[in-house]
Chains A and B, each alone.
Chain A
Amino acid sequence: MAAGHDRGFLKRNSLGIFFGLIFLLSLAGQAVAGWHAFNSEQAAEGLGTLSFVRYLVSSDFAVDVAENWQSEYLQFLLYITATVWFLQRGSPESKELEKAGLESDEDQKVGPHADADSPRWAAAGGWRTAVFSWSLTLVMAGIFLASWTVQSIAGRVAHNETRLGRLQDPLTWTEYVTGADFWARTLQNWQSEFLAVGSMAVLAIYLRQRGSPESKPVGEAHTSTGVEG
């Protein structure tokens, strides 16, 4: 019975578990590969190398992780908020064309329009409903800003480590965040995220993936907007 129950849990939560596992595997792989790459560069310049544990707590590893995290959370933050107002005719990623905006309390089931099953803060009204109405955006924005801040701090340390190895003076935090290294790391991630979400919204007008909720049903018209399979 217990095994059957466990299998039911795994099946019902397989999406989160799958991405959680491949996240951990990828992070571990990045750590090992990054460690070898760092030590290879250090050795080539006659400088000291790091143990694996020291690399895991180094700024070099932290900046490589943080720069990707911030861009991913920014991507979904923008997607969540942009799709409130922006539309894409024929795309399953867009709302129906007449629904642009924050929608009515009735549509959103808040305050007196809440169901018996609605979250408590949706029914509560006042500041709690206001906060809960934006909670996904607030948390995504918080993680984005925290990751970007970590990128700036760890990135400065890692960049200054490289500069000292090249016998150059280190940069202050202000010099670093207004300099080329910080923005090259930031924008190279942003451009790829924006391309990926934008192209998915447009390609999904004409292309299908049978069975995916991110796609329209295979036989749905190209002109249908806001329909998910």
Chain B
Amino acid sequence: MAGSTGGYRPVVAEQEVAPVRRGRSIRRSGRPAERVLAVGAALVLAVVLTGCGQDDAPAARRTVHFYAALAADDGAAACADLAPGARQQVEDQQGAPCAEAILELGLQAVAGPVSEVEVYGSAAQAVVGDDTAFLSRYAAGWLITAVGCTPGGGDRPYTCAVEVS
């Protein structure tokens, strides 16, 4: 739920994977059954930590950058934050290059902080003002797959002005 603040600035290359600290190998001790249990416990712990440890800052930064670009009327910068499929949908919808079309969609242009962000695996949801955006992690980092979203009510999907087609 960590929020992220920041103004309009270029998104720098994201270091999303913590460096692996290299050290001495774990000393083997105990009887075989104890070693098996120890390895099992370590695996369970690793999996639990994998499920819990989600870094939400890069997705939040991407979202903040997108809305700040809109606020600055910088359509090219905003489009660079969109996933390829979302960029395509903007162009198809407006019949114009993304950098022009994105500014014509009437999207909220608030250079404010992300009030809420949740990351699950390679997907994220971020809230800025009254608007909700969805993101996916690509090889190049987090990109916005849907934006200008309002809740569909109940368990129905959000309705979005732009979404990956």
Contacts and interface: CB of A to CB of B under 8 A. Distances in A.
Interface of A: 42, 45-50, 57-60, 62, 65-66, 139, 143, 146-147, 149-150, 153-154, 156-158, 160-162, 164-170
A161 B51 CA distance: 11
Nearest to B118: A170
B contacts with A: majority SS: mixed
Contact of A150 (B37, B44, B151, B160): B44
Contacts of A45: 164
Given A146-B44, A167-B158, A57 B145 contact: no
B15 interface: no
Contacts of B134: 164-165, 167
A167 B137 contact: no
A139 B143 CA distance: 45
B160 A157 contact: no
Given A48-B136, A153-B52, A166-B157, A161 B47 contact: no
B83 interface: yes
Contacts, number: 104
Contacts of A165: 123, 134, 136, 145
Contact of B125 (A47, A146, A170): A170
A160 B121 CA distance: 8
Given A154-B47, A157-B120, A158-B121, A168 B84 contact: no
Instruction: Please provide the 6 A-B residue pairs with the shortest distance between their CB atoms, ordered closest to farther.
Output: A46-B85, A164-B123, A48-B138, A161-B121, A160-B120, A46-B164
Contact of A161 (B120, B143, B145, B149): B120
A160 B156 CA distance: 14
Nearest to B164: A46
A161 B160 contact: no
Contact of B164 (A47, A60, A170): A47
Nearest to A51: B139
A209 B165 CA distance: 57
Interface in B114-165: 118, 120-125, 134, 136-139, 143, 145-146, 149, 151-152, 155-158, 160, 163-165
Given A48-B139, A167-B149, A147 B125 contact: no
Contact of B51 (A46, A65, A156, A167): A156
B25 interface: no
A153 B48 CA distance: 7
Given A58-B122, A143-B40, 6 more contacts: A46-B84, A62-B50, A160-B123, A162-B123, A165-B134, A167-B152
Contact of A59 (B121, B156, B160, B164): B121
A150 B46 CA distance: 10
B136 to A, nearest CB: 4
A18 B145 CA distance: 47
10 contacts: A50-B122, A57-B50, A62-B50, A150-B51, A153-B51, A158-B121, A161-B122, A162-B123, A164-B118, A164-B123
Contact of B145 (A47, A147, A150): A47
A210 B134 CA distance: 60
Given A47-B145, A62-B50, A150-B51, A157 B44 contact: no
